[in-house]
């Protein structure tokens, strides 16, 4: 018997709220399987199981906020240890009463019996189970076409495309009540927890909405667009609706945002801002910061990138940020004093470079999820993962590891016109790198004056771990790597 506990999803996290269960009692889970979505002060993140076994019962309800370390579910080693659990709420992930237990050895069954068929269904690798969850398909009802009856990606995709019952689905077990057609359709809609919760609040059927997100996913904007404006605000909020303020000269308001949603976003932004402020206050009090800056010569990098982009379609062209991030990851690998954690009074260097990237959220505030093993990624892989990471961060679909284990953080405000940024270190990390806008500047070289692309790079580092000599070497190494962009 093991307990799944509310994990710490960041140095500043003290509690979390369970907003969605991605499994149900009776499901067999493997290590790394996603089991729940948790709302922190920063964003909504998926958490995974650290044990393998059968989900016995939930110890907290959807909407409950509990401290880090609090048990939220029980997992047993075998189905035999299952104990009766209370009825599920309507907010749980799947309406099916039965789920695959996936024992190590197949349970004997009468040849040709429905139960025997179901016993063979539902075997799938973690990536396939993750895809099935994202598409709203129960792998336990799919008969796989892979080796040994394993469910493949193609099986999941066919199940989504098939009318009525999923293609290849196993026969229903004896006594099982089939899901209503509307129920099945609603669970095939790809959407984020935020979009599903908003749809429930506004009484919108997700299956009636055409998604505009990645792979056709329904976004919060799609849900809002499907609701007539006059039906978005409850009556009690219409009476005290404040007079509209003139648009801000800095940023125009988003169109057609309902009062209740706007208030929710404002509250979320304020909570996030308070959490960030508390952590940054702690960082400045506890970490002896020192700051360095240098101007990067980007002439070679920009010329190489422009030549490479001429051979690429628009959708796969590189941007300067990709080169800056890759150079930073490689430099962090070579100068380990910048890459790791200061905990319990000592520094622990990290063998891997998990590059935290600051991302601005739509409702305000910042998060800095990690690009894992950034030093080993090609520029194309880094670009793809960066797009995916930013999209999921803004949709509230980050995973625990992406928020909990960045080893060094980069912030790039060049797109906003900022020429230099001196960041505050995110504890327990020991360094933060800032990049400003890429500008054409006068540049003297070998007695000749010309115009070159350049950008200011800054370093905020922990004086308990390094000093100006090591910090200067780190910034110089970034500049050196950018002089040979073809080798990044």
What CATH number is given to the structural domain containing 218?
4.10.320.10
Residues 351, 471 share a domain: yes
Distance of CA 342 to the CA centre of its chain: 25
| Per-residue model confidence as pLDDT tens digits over 196-223 | 767 776 777 777 788 776 567 777 677 7
Are the C-beta atoms of 435 and 457 separated by less than 8 Å?
yes
Residues 292, 258 share a domain: no
Residues 211, 99 share a domain: no
Other CB atoms within a 10 A radius of the CB of residue 165 amount to 16
Residues 348, 334 share a domain: yes
| Per-residue model confidence as pLDDT tens digits over 46-60 | 788 877 888 888 888
Q: What is the dihedral of CA 168, 169, 173, 176, to 10 degrees?
A: -150
**Residue 66 three-state SS:** strand
Going by C-alpha positions, the residue among 125, 123, 121 that lies closest to residue 170 is: 121
Are the C-beta atoms of 283 and 424 separated by less than 8 Å?
yes
| Per-residue model confidence as pLDDT tens digits over 297-306 | 999 999 999 9
* Token reading at 145: 């076409």
Per cent of the chain over pLDDT 70 is: 66
Number of domains in the chain: 4
pLDDT surpassing 60 at residue 126: no
Quick one: CA dihedral 347, 353, 354, 356, positive or negative?
positive
Residues 203, 125 share a domain: no
pTM: 0.54
pLDDT at 407: 94
What string of DSSP letters covers 255-289?
Answer: TT--HHHHHHHHHHHHHHHHHHHHHHHHHHHHS-E
Residues 259, 215 share a domain: no
pLDDT surpassing 80 at residue 69: yes
Question: Mean pLDDT throughout 415-426?
Answer: 89
- C-alpha pair distances (Å), 466 with each of 364, 423, 460, 469: 33, 17, 11, 8
pLDDT surpassing 50 at residue 357: yes
Domain with residue 369: its CATH number is: 3.30.559.10
pLDDT at 331: 96
Question: Mean pLDDT throughout 441-451?
Answer: 89
- C-alpha pair distances (Å), 88 with each of 58, 60, 85, 191: 9, 11, 8, 22
Give phi and psi for 210, each to the nearest 5: -90, 115
Residues 386, 295 share a domain: yes
Are the C-beta atoms of 406 and 354 separated by less than 8 Å?
yes
End-to-end CA distance of the chain: 48
Are the C-beta atoms of 319 and 306 separated by less than 8 Å?
no
Residues 454, 307 share a domain: yes
| Cα–Cα distance measured from residue 487 to residue 56, given in angstroms and rounded to the nearest whole number | 51
Residues 364, 327 share a domain: yes
pLDDT averaged over every residue in the chain: 74
| Cα–Cα distance measured from residue 132 to residue 123, given in angstroms and rounded to the nearest whole number | 12
Length of the chain: 488
Residues 482, 337 share a domain: yes
Residues 62, 27 share a domain: yes
Residues 234, 223 share a domain: no
Domain residue limits at 459: 288-487
| Cα–Cα distance measured from residue 188 to residue 180, given in angstroms and rounded to the nearest whole number | 13
Please say which residue of 170, 201, 218 terminates a domain.
170
- C-alpha pair distances (Å), 220 with each of 22, 206, 362, 410: 20, 11, 11, 28
pLDDT at 77: 74
Domain with residue 121: its CATH number is: 2.40.50.100
């Amino acid at each position: 018997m093991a307990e799944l506990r509310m994990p710490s999803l960041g140095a500043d996290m003290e509690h979390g709220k369970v907003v969605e269960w991605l499994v149900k009692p009776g499901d067999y889970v493997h290590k790394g399987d996603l089991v729940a979505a948790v709302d922190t002060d920063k964003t909504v993140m998926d958490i995974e199981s650290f044990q393998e076994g059968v989900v016995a019962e939930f110890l907290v309800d959807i909407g409950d906020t509990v401290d880090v370390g609090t048990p939220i579910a029980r997992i047993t080693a075998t189905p035999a240890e299952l104990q009766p659990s209370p009825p599920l709420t309507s907010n749980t992930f799947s309406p099916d009463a039965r789920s695959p237990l996936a024992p190590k050895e197949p349970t004997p069954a009468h040849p040709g019996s429905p139960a025997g068929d179901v016993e063979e269904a539902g075997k799938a690798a973690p990536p396939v189970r993750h895809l099935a969850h994202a598409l709203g398909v129960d792998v336990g009802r799919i008969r796989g076409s892979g080796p040994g009856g394993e469910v493949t990606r193609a099986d999941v995709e066919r199940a989504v495309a098939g009318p009525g019952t999923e293609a290849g689905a196993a026969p229903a077990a004896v006594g099982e009540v089939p899901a209503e057609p509307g129920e099945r359709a609603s669970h095939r809609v790809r959407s984020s927890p935020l979009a599903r919760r908003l749809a429930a609040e506004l009484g919108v059927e997700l299956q009636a909405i055409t998604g505009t997100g990645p792979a056709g996913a329904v976004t919060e904007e799609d849900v809002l667009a499907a609701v007539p404006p006059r039906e978005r605000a409850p009556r009690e909020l219409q009476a005290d609706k404040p007079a509209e303020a003139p648009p801000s000269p800095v940023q125009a308001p988003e169109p057609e945002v309902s009062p209740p949603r706007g208030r929710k976003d404002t509250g979320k932004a304020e909570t996030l801002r308070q959490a960030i402020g508390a952590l940054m206050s702690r960082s400045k009090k506890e970490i002896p910061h020192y700051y360095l800056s240098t101007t990067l010569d980007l002439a070679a990098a920009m010329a190489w990138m422009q030549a490479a982009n001429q051979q690429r379609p628009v959708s796969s062209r590189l941007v300067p940020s990709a080169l800056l991030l890759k150079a930073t990851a490689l430099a962090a690998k070579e100068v380990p004093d910048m890459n790791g954690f200061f905990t319990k009074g000592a520094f622990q260097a990290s063998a891997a470079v998990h590059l935290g990237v600051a991302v601005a959220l739509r409702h305000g505030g910042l998060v800095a999820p990690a690009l894992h093993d950034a030093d080993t990624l090609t520029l194309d892989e880094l670009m793809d993962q960066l797009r995916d990471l930013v999209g999921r961060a803004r949709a509230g679909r980050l995973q625990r590891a992406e928020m909990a284990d960045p080893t060094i953080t980069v912030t790039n405000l060049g797109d906003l016109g900022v020429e230099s940024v001196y960041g505050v270190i995110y504890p327990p990390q020991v360094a933060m790198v800032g990049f400003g806008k890429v500008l054409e500047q006068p540049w003297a070289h070998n007695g000749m004056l010309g115009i070159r692309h350049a950008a200011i790079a800054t370093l905020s580092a922990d004086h308990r771990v390094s000093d100006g000599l090591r910090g200067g070497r780190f910034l110089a190494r970034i500049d050196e790597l950018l002089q040979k962009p073809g080798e990044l």
